[in-house]
């Protein structure tokens, strides 16, 4: 069994070596190759039959390895003196001649043992070959029988494949393309320890699948992030890790943030149900709207207590289970709260800011999640979220805060109570202008029943400092629900 394992840090070594160019011994270490690839070859003995054929074959391809930023080092149990003799002996007399890479001496077999290629019975190493990446991580390992030499063409093929960073099928060559795992995902595909069952949906940043966790034997929702949006992907992964610390009955639990086959993914609790947006479209009863609103508010309050902000709350990001439980999904734009809300967020920022038109060309229009970064070193800005549900400060390119979630929840609450989207503009620019310039609270409050007319103007205040915290919103909704329940009981 190999002592060195692929995917782990390669065992360090420090060995004396010589070369045809420099016959005086020097010390070679694994750390000397930091930032470069290294092909480390073990062979049994100098002055043997098979060894010179493979070492000279690799030497003839030294330039090809060099083009790939890869160095070669060969190691045997032989002494430095024997290496020097072998290098100075003509090939016709059993020597190597001008070898293009160094030969290292491992007289006690310590390095061979560390790499798992030492043969105690013969006190030599087998023909182990290891490719180590520029970070010192072992990426390839193969061991040949002592009677069979290695082929430099195959090693170069593997090196090319490793350097693509992609998935390379059997018989792959540098002229062929790699497998695109995003397109290859389908029912039955196994990704890491997850087996894809069905596609649940797709959005701006990725695609969500129902998958079976082979390790823990449970269903999960697996969100595969698109590789083409690297900056957004890294942000989403960082923020998902922040959201993973949340544990609340009305927040979809994040189980793991992983990467498999080059695909970043987030494994989440699987909730068998449908989006709140569909529930609203089918017709939402008042008692159900009150119950779901209280559940969503309590989940957001718990997230805010942990310093986590959603940043993209909307009916499509809430799922209603078959048991009638609302759970907040997709903290993909969530951020850990680092700044407090101040009135400066609304003062002096009255100019209308818009993103380039192509940002808004999405299939779902103003309800789709978008991200546009217009940052500069002097003033970091960017629009992140869904236009039809974002807060005024987000529409101005400022970061979302906990009270930004309050505003988004206010718009969601109006939709739950009326059955129609609160802001019905389909033009992104008109919607941005309205969010940044109008005080929407009073207008939208007139569309709902009396118990909510006092709460909504505060939630939808243009100035974020005037909005109540989510804990207060949750408390007031709980009171409204209790009053509603008591009235229904009295009427019954």
CATH number of residue 251's parent domain: 3.30.200.20
Give yes or no: residues 263 and 382 share one domain: no
Q: Write down the pLDDT at residue 228.
A: 58
CA–CA separation, 99 and 52 (whole Å): 10
> Which residue from 156, 130, 102 is spatially nearest to 7, judged by alpha carbons?
130
Give yes or no: residues 195 and 123 share one domain: no
Instruction: Provide the number of structural domains found in the chain.
Output: 3
pLDDT class of 338 with cuts at 50, 70, 90: very low
Q: Write down the pLDDT at residue 186.
A: 86
pLDDT digits (tens, 9 = 90+) for 160-204: 999 988 778 888 888 777 777 777 788 999 999 999 999 988 776
Give yes or no: residues 262 and 281 share one domain: no
Give yes or no: residues 42 and 110 share one domain: yes
CATH number of residue 104's parent domain: 3.40.30.10
Tell which wins on pLDDT, 383 or 160: 160
Give yes or no: residues 330 and 476 share one domain: yes
Tell which wins on pLDDT, 135 or 169: 135
Catalytic hit among 51, 70, 168, 252: 51
pLDDT class of 235 with cuts at 50, 70, 90: low
Q: Write down the pLDDT at residue 204.
A: 66
Whether the per-residue pLDDT at 362 is higher than 50: the answer is no
Residue 34 maps to a domain: yes
Residue 3 maps to a domain: no
Single out the residue in 269, 294, 314 at which a domain terminates.
269
Residue 280 maps to a domain: yes
Give yes or no: residues 114 and 252 share one domain: no
Q: Write down the pLDDT at residue 342.
A: 38
Tell which wins on pLDDT, 84 or 355: 84
Q: Is 51 a catalytic residue?
A: yes
Mean pLDDT, residues 476-485: 86
The answer to pTM > 0.75 is no
Q: Write down the pLDDT at residue 236.
A: 63
Single out the residue in 137, 164, 191 at which a domain terminates.
164
Domain that holds residue 218: 181-269
Q: Write down the pLDDT at residue 67.
A: 96
Question: Could you give the percent of the chain with pLDDT greater than 70?
Answer: 86
pLDDT digits (tens, 9 = 90+) for 294-318: 999 999 999 999 989 999 999 999 9
Show the tokens assigned to 172.
């792959």
CB atoms within 10 A of CB 321: 12
Single out the residue in 238, 269, 300 at which a domain terminates.
269
Residue 118 maps to a domain: yes
pLDDT digits (tens, 9 = 90+) for 35-71: 999 999 999 999 999 999 999 999 999 999 999 999 9
Give yes or no: residues 251 and 108 share one domain: no
């Amino acid at each position: 069994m190999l002592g060195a394992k692929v995917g782990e840090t390669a065992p360090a070594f420090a060995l004396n070596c010589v070369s045809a160019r420099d016959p005086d011994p020097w010390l070679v270490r694994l750390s000397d190759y930091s930032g470069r690839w290294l092909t480390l070859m073990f062979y049994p003995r100098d002055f043997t039959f098979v060894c010179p054929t493979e070492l000279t074959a690799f030497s003839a391809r030294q330039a090809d390895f060099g083009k790939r930023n890869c160095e070669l080092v060969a190691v045997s149990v032989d002494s430095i003196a024997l290496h020097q003799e072998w290098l100075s002996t003509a090939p016709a007399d059993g020597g190597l001649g001008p070898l293009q890479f160094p030969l290292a001496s491992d007289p006690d077999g310590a390095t061979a043992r560390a790499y798992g290629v030492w043969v105690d019975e013969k006190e030599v190493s087998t023909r182990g070959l290891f490719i180590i990446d520029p970070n010192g991580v072992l990426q390839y390992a193969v061991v040949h029988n002592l009677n069979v030499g290695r082929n430099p063409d195959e090693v170069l093929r593997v090196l090319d494949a490793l350097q693509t960073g992609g998935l390379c099928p059997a018989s792959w060559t540098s002229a062929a393309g790699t497998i695109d795992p995003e397109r290859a995902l389908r029912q039955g595909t196994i990704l890491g320890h997850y087996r894809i069952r069905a596609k649940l949906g797709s959005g701006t940043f990725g695609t969500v699948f129902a998958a079976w966790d082979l390790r823990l034997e449970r269903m999960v929702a697996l969100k595969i992030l698109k590789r083409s949006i690297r900056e957004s992907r890294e942000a989403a992964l960082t923020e998902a890790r922040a959201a993973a610390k949340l544990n609340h009955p009305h927040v979809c639990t994040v189980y793991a943030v992983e990467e498999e086959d080059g695909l970043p993914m987030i494994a989440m609790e699987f909730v068998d149900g449908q989006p709140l947006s569909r529930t609203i479209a089918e017709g939402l009863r008042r008692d159900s709207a009150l119950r779901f609103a209280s559940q969503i508010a309590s989940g957001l309050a718990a997230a805010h207590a942990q310093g986590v902000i959603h940043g993209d709350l909307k009916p499509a990001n809430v799922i209603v289970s078959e048991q009638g439980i609302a759970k907040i999904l997709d903290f993909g734009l969530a951020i850990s709260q680092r700044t407090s809300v101040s009135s400066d967020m609304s003062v002096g920022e009255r100019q209308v800011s818009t993103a380039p038109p192509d940002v808004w060309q999405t299939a779902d229009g103003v309800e789709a999640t978008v991200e546009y970064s217009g940052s500069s070193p002097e003033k970091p800005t960017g629009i992140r979220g869904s236009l039809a549900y974002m807060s005024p400060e987000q529409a101005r390119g400022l970061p979302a805060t906990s009270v930004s979630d309050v505003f988004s929840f206010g718009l969601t609450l109006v939709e739950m109570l009326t059955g129609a989207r609160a802001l019905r503009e389909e033009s992104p620019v008109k919607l941005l202008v309205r969010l940044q310039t109008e005080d929407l609270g009073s207008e939208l409050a007139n569309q709902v029943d009396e118990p909510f007319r006092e709460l909504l103007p505060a939630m939808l205040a243009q100035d974020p400092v005037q909005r109540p915290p989510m804990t207060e919103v949750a408390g007031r909704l709980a009171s409204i629900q209790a009053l509603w329940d008591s009235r229904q009981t009295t009427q019954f």
